[in-house]
Structure 1
Amino acid sequence: MPAKKQHNNNTHNNAAKTRPVFYVIAMILPFALLLTLEVVLRVSGFGHSYPLFIESNYKTEYLQPNPDVVKRFFHQPAYAPPVGPDTFLFKKQKDPNSIRIVLMGGSSAAGFPYGRFGSPAAMLNQQVKAQFPNSHIEIISVAMASINSYALLDFVDEVIAIEPDAVLMYAGHNEYLGIMGVGSVYASKGSHAANLMFLKLKEWRIFQLIQTVYQSFLGVAQSVDHSDSSRTVMASVAKEKSIEYGSALFQRGVQQFEQNLQGIQLAFMQAQVPLYLSTIASNEKDLTPFSSYNSPEVIDLLDETKVRSNRRIIQQGLRILDGGIHSADLAYAVAQAMLSEKDERAAAYFAMSRDYDLLRFRAPSAFNKIIQAAADTDVLTFLVDSEGEIRKDSDSRIIGAEHMLEHLHPTPRAYFLIGNAFFNGLVNNQAFNALMGKNHGATRSLPIDKAWVNMPLSEVDLMVGDYKILTLTSDYPFTDSKQAIAAPADTSALQKIAKRRIEGESWLNTQQALLTILQEQGDIRQAANAAGLLHDALPDEAQAARVASLLYLQIDELGLAEFYARRALYVQQPGTQINANYYLTLAEIVFKSGNLPDAIAILDALLRIEPDNQRALSIRQQIST
């Protein structure tokens, strides 16, 4: 009996020891099977992946934003709107002596309708080049139309991976009608938590397989028809066309923006990357509301505005608005009457009209309050008040057509002010201090009017932009039905180039043609700008930088002349014969800038390569005595 009992105890003990092993296997096996399936799907080529950055076709050592990145948010890529970020080339391996700045946001951050060279990134870059000519500062934009804070949150880890020294953000207008916006045809059907889960799972092939099975089984139809390429994205995206101020859907948009911004801020804070959050601006004074809730009493008052006095409109309008009627049209009428009467309350009622607009293509005032509050919560988050800068540049501090092309896309002047606000924010928070302490040349303090002269947009860019705005405003929501527009004029040489660009010819070809024409016409400033932008687009092209430096030197724009002269010297192809003229030009520019020691050092560098260079010897002797 004792022996049998001992045997039973051993059996029981062995079973007890074995049971945890089965539990572990039972827990691990499903994950192992899922992982195996994921690997099989990837190896077999099933599914898709759209990274934020891809290797450039220009040169293998360069990366650029992926023009197809928007497709990552759509199970069927054909459902995605035809939008993408502009091409910004930057080195895979970051130069340890460089400063890398990334701009994020929607179409206004991307520079619509002018593209990258009208964007805040380009406006900022012009100031940086002039102020820090002996430095390497990369400004990269991942901004693009139609995206909102969900996409920006999804991009954060990939932005951190390219080692930015600062991130700039101008965003908020697409929260309701952008991709995954609560009122858009691109909206998801889940909660905020479900949307965040989607962002985490969308790259998994198993998840994509489940989506494929689900959609094929239910026969889910395409949500947006992009077959008519003449329709604008704006004309396609509005689903919940009426989102009343303070409604549940309105509040969901506010909460979505606030929560996603907190996630973005936390990620950059943990990575120790400074974040510069900009307030956003839109047209208040010169754009009537797209859609408005108007009670019978409001309709009666609006019908009589042409015969009533301004003071009567204000009195009656305030009574109705104070009664809780959220009428955008009435608030706009009251604001116009106040403006005519020089009533300081006009600005508040123009803002109220925008906030009450049922068709939410413009961000409500609450978003700037969220941006301002976020900047107060973290030492690595800085507020950039772009809206405030535009207001200061506006009559009565009310933003209108002088600074907005239509509802929210800035004019060149407003884009410049946004870029200038970012520049001042970076300077004020010591973002460039490392450059100042590394003998990167004298810092030039440029007055705003002086900086504005070098705004990078050409007359051709402005023509193309005007045509794009005409196309945009010829369709919903600016008109009830799509209107035909005339073909662009092509009488002058510059109009012909603009038309070529509108019809799809590459920017590179048309920009080279523009440079030639501007030189023939003797427009030195614009020719310098055109040559400089060619180099900015193709950063290893020494000849474009050389031409830009010589042209800027002719008009005594010494900061930009020095920047491009240094770039021309820096990017000369390895193994090619050194061009002594590159050194001599740079020495002349630096000497004219008042930096004699650097001018002598540049000549000495040339003489070490060509000891018998008579021009260098003669110039050195002249400036040394």
Structure 2
Amino acid sequence: MTKRNNNQKNKTAFYAIALLIPVLFFLILEFGLRLIGFGTSTPLFIENPANPNYILPQPNILQRYFPEGTEQPSVTMEANFILKEKPANGYRIVVQGGSTAAGFPYGLGASIAGILDQRLKPSLPGRHVEVLNTAMSAVNSYTLIDIADEIIEQKPDAIMIYAGHNEYLGILGVGSNYTAFGAGLSTTWFLKLKELSLFQLMQKLSVALIAPDTEAPSNEKPGQQTQGSARTFMAKVAKHKNIEKGSDLYDAGLEQFEKNISALLQKYQRAGIPVFISTIASNIKDQKPFVSAELEPEYQASAQKLFASLEQQSKAQNISSLKKVSLTLQQSSSATLHFKLAQLALALGESSIAKTHFDLAKEHDLLRFRAPEAINHIIREQAQKFDAIVVETQKELEIRSPDRIIGNNLMLEHLHPNLRGYFVVANSFYNSFAEFWQTQGDNSPFSPVSIEQAWAERLILPQEEYFGYATILGLTSDYPFTDNPRKPRLPKPTDWQQQLGQDFYAKKITWLDMMETSLKRYTLEENTKQRNKTLQILADALPHQGLYNLQIAEVKFQQGRYNESLHYYQRAKLAGAIGNTIDSNISTLESILQKD
């Protein structure tokens, strides 16, 4: 009996060793590769080279998803900074999401982070407010979950999320050219393994062995063009251009989003970080479907009869005919039919029927650059499950739209808001945050800043507005907005501000050139309002630049805006600015705010 037990133990040990040998081999290989410096790591946060007191999100963070030698979209994260060491009185918010969260095409000044940062500084007296943007164009829920742990390391006090449009045709989307070995489980494993040197070696060998794909996606940011190519990112990203509602690929996009958002919210819940997650919106009134299925034979007669009789009938008769066939035609999968029915209903004053068919036109659009409404259902369900706060941005945009149908009144094209739309989005987050703050019970003051004041003080210059408009013209001059790509015709600048915006769009000058030139011009013109606005934009963009921060601190001090003034004085001091009154003004402001 003992001999049999010994044999069994020996056999078990043999199998264990046999299994451990390849594991040990790969561990040694991984260690060896790291020892010789093979492989790269792309952390989310890097030190600010201009001042080590600050860190910023890695602009080229997307490099972590693409092996060296492959085509990559040149999408970058806009530079914005937080202190490396969070101060004792600090309140830190991090924004996650795609291009809308990032403020495309205007940039940080129109973004959720930019608007909230400006508005929360005076709202939270005595607190050092930092609102950090980690959103960027084209990313989806895979990127959100991938960077979550690194965000948690920065000790945020709240997370704000606006995402969902890129689950199908974004980077790592189920219908995208920019995928990592397919989708689903393979993408999940890719995200787990991508930092291993051994995995990167296998990628490198794979790239070397496989011939380059001549149809590979182009290196372009949405709306921008590069030399040698006139195609936009949207023109290259769509691998699957016909994703039917209810199809396997359609369901895969929803499953991907639900799984990732669930994991994301659970991660933040375990870390004890409040999350504000928004419903998402798109242009349904003024953006016709990109791709539509043919009208089914069983609905052709009803549709033809309705449209053929329009000129022969009175308005009342047309309304009656529309109401009779609307319910039947709602069963059609033709996005084009629904869009035409919606336009007819709107013209006849039947806004409820119009809203129904505009929604159906978006839902059945086969080219899924706009998220289906099921994404919002998932957002609400997962938020409830993990105690996150739902920000009803879609409803707020609808309230401010004629007939509660979102169109060009608040949108630039298919889903990016215009400046007023962005302020509605940010205002929705601000109001949700204000409600949350007042229920915390720690007696910390909250001084509301109205949307009217925030709008009047918006940190966007006419130069940036022109750049944004030009960027959208570039975007809509190519697929999927037109089948025949064309060079956008930019409007002739009407003043020096728009000329600077055009020069920036044409890459003749940098953003910093544009801003510093603007500051000089506004100063010469004695345009105090625009000078101060430009000064604040520069100070926020360059916290390590002492002079700009000192100058705006003095402006805020003279205006009696003490919390904001203290914020900029402290930044000026940290940046090494020289001034006789810096220390005394900081002491005075701290005393004032403590009394308040």
* CA-based RMSD: 3.1
1:386–1:70 Cα change, 3 Å:
same
What's 2:224 paired with? none
1:332 aligns with 2:339: yes
1:151 aligns with 2:143: yes
1:211–1:572 Cα change, 3 Å:
closer
Q: How does 1:549-588 map to 2 (within 5 A)?
A: 549-551=553-555, 556=559, 558-559=560-561, 562-569=563-570, 571-572=572-573, 579-580=580-581, 583=584
1:575–1:351 Cα change, 3 Å:
closer
What's 2:545 paired with? 541
Q: Structure 2 counterpart of 1:539, which letter?
A: P
Q: How does 1:59-458 map to 2 (within 5 A)?
A: 59-76=51-68, 78-219=70-211, 221=213, 223-226=216-219, 228-295=228-295, 297=300, 300=304, 304=308, 307=311, 310-311=318-319, 314-315=322-323, 318=326, 320-322=328-330, 324-343=331-350, 344-379=352-387, 381-430=388-437, 437=444, 443-458=446-461
Task: Judge conservation of contact 1:178–1:237 (CA < 8 Å) in 2.
Answer: yes
Deviation at 1:432, TM superposition (A): 9.7
Q: Distance in 1 between matches of 2:405 and 2:217?
A: 36
Task: Judge conservation of contact 1:114–1:461 (CA < 8 Å) in 2.
Answer: yes
Q: Structure 2 counterpart of 1:509, which letter?
A: D
1:48-74 superposed Cα distances (whole Å, 9 cap, x missing partner): 332222222222232211122112222
Q: Structure 1 counterpart of 2:416, which letter?
A: H
Task: Judge conservation of contact 1:416–1:455 (CA < 8 Å) in 2.
Answer: no
Q: 2:48 aligns with which of 37, 52, 56?
A: 56
* Stretch deviating more after TM superposition (349-358 or 70-79): 70-79
Q: Distance in 1 between matches of 2:99 and 2:92?
A: 22
1:507-528 superposed Cα distances (whole Å, 9 cap, x missing partner): 2222121122223333322222
Q: Structure 2 counterpart of 1:579, which letter?
A: N
Q: Distance in 2 between matches of 1:12 and 1:317?
A: 82
Deviation at 1:246, TM superposition (A): 1.8
Q: Distance in 2 between matches of 1:432 and 1:161?
A: 26
Deviation at 1:537, TM superposition (A): 1.2
Task: Judge conservation of contact 1:497–1:510 (CA < 8 Å) in 2.
Answer: yes
What's 2:530 paired with? 526
What's 1:40 paired with? 32
What's 1:471 paired with? 474
What's 1:515 paired with? 519
Deviation at 1:553, TM superposition (A): 6.3
Task: Judge conservation of contact 1:488–1:499 (CA < 8 Å) in 2.
Answer: no
Q: Distance in 1 between matches of 2:548 and 2:305?
A: 62
* Stretch deviating more after TM superposition (472-481 or 421-430): 421-430
Task: Judge conservation of contact 2:180–2:190 (CA < 8 Å) in 1.
Answer: no
Task: Judge conservation of contact 2:397–2:406 (CA < 8 Å) in 1.
Answer: yes
1:549–1:395 Cα change, 3 Å:
farther
Q: Distance in 2 between matches of 1:139 and 1:515?
A: 25
Q: Distance in 2 between matches of 1:199 and 1:219?
A: 24
1:601–1:418 Cα change, 3 Å:
closer
SS at match of 1:430: helix
Deviation at 1:332, TM superposition (A): 1.4
Q: Distance in 2 between matches of 1:422 and 1:55?
A: 29
* Stretch deviating more after TM superposition (42-51 or 447-456): 42-51
SS at match of 1:79: coil
* Stretch deviating more after TM superposition (177-186 or 58-67): 58-67
SS at match of 2:319: helix
Taking structure 2 as the reference length, the TM-score comes to 0.88
Q: Structure 2 counterpart of 1:162, which letter?
A: Q
1:347–1:575 Cα change, 3 Å:
closer
1:12-62 superposed Cα distances (whole Å, 9 cap, x missing partner): 998777666545433333222111111222233433332222222222232
* Stretch deviating more after TM superposition (444-453 or 350-359): 444-453
Deviation at 1:301, TM superposition (A): 6.3
Q: Distance in 2 between matches of 1:210 and 1:351?
A: 46
Q: Distance in 1 between matches of 2:322 and 2:516?
A: 56
Gaps of at least 5 residues in structure 1 are: 1-8, 603-625
Task: Judge conservation of contact 2:148–2:264 (CA < 8 Å) in 1.
Answer: yes
1:25 aligns with 2:33: no
Gaps of at least 5 residues in structure 2 are: 220-226
Task: Judge conservation of contact 2:106–2:467 (CA < 8 Å) in 1.
Answer: yes
1:13–1:391 Cα change, 3 Å:
closer
1:584–1:488 Cα change, 3 Å:
same
What's 1:612 paired with? none
Q: Distance in 1 between matches of 2:538 and 2:240?
A: 43
Q: Structure 2 counterpart of 1:540, which letter?
A: H
Q: Distance in 1 between matches of 2:355 and 2:51?
A: 51
Deviation at 1:545, TM superposition (A): 2.7
1:68–1:204 Cα change, 3 Å:
same
1:581–1:151 Cα change, 3 Å:
closer
What's 2:592 paired with? 598
Deviation at 1:582, TM superposition (A): 7.5
1:169–1:285 Cα change, 3 Å:
same
Q: 1:459 aligns with which of 455, 462, 469?
A: 462
Q: Structure 2 counterpart of 1:250, which letter?
A: Y
* Stretch deviating more after TM superposition (227-236 or 264-273): 227-236
Q: Structure 1 counterpart of 2:400, which letter?
A: D
Task: Judge conservation of contact 1:241–1:358 (CA < 8 Å) in 2.
Answer: yes
Task: Judge conservation of contact 1:566–1:586 (CA < 8 Å) in 2.
Answer: no
* Stretch deviating more after TM superposition (505-514 or 467-476): 505-514
SS at match of 2:147: helix
Deviation at 1:312, TM superposition (A): 6.5
Q: Distance in 2 between matches of 1:574 and 1:312?
A: 70
Q: Distance in 2 between matches of 1:487 and 1:400?
A: 23
SS at match of 1:101: strand
Deviation at 1:406, TM superposition (A): 0.4
SS at match of 1:571: helix
Deviation at 1:469, TM superposition (A): 0.5
SS at match of 2:349: coil
SS at match of 1:212: helix
1:522–1:432 Cα change, 3 Å:
farther
1:403-423 superposed Cα distances (whole Å, 9 cap, x missing partner): 100000111111111111112
Q: Structure 2 counterpart of 1:337, which letter?
A: L
Task: Judge conservation of contact 1:101–1:166 (CA < 8 Å) in 2.
Answer: yes
Q: Structure 2 counterpart of 1:184, which letter?
A: S
1:489–1:206 Cα change, 3 Å:
same
Q: How many residues are aligned here? A: 578
Q: Structure 2 counterpart of 1:267, which letter?
A: K
SS at match of 1:267: helix
Q: Distance in 2 between matches of 1:177 and 1:302?
A: 36
1:302-326 superposed Cα distances (whole Å, 9 cap, x missing partner): 974874765267247525524x321
Deviation at 1:425, TM superposition (A): 1.7
Deviation at 1:389, TM superposition (A): 1.4
SS at match of 1:376: helix
Task: Judge conservation of contact 1:569–1:583 (CA < 8 Å) in 2.
Answer: no
1:446–1:212 Cα change, 3 Å:
closer
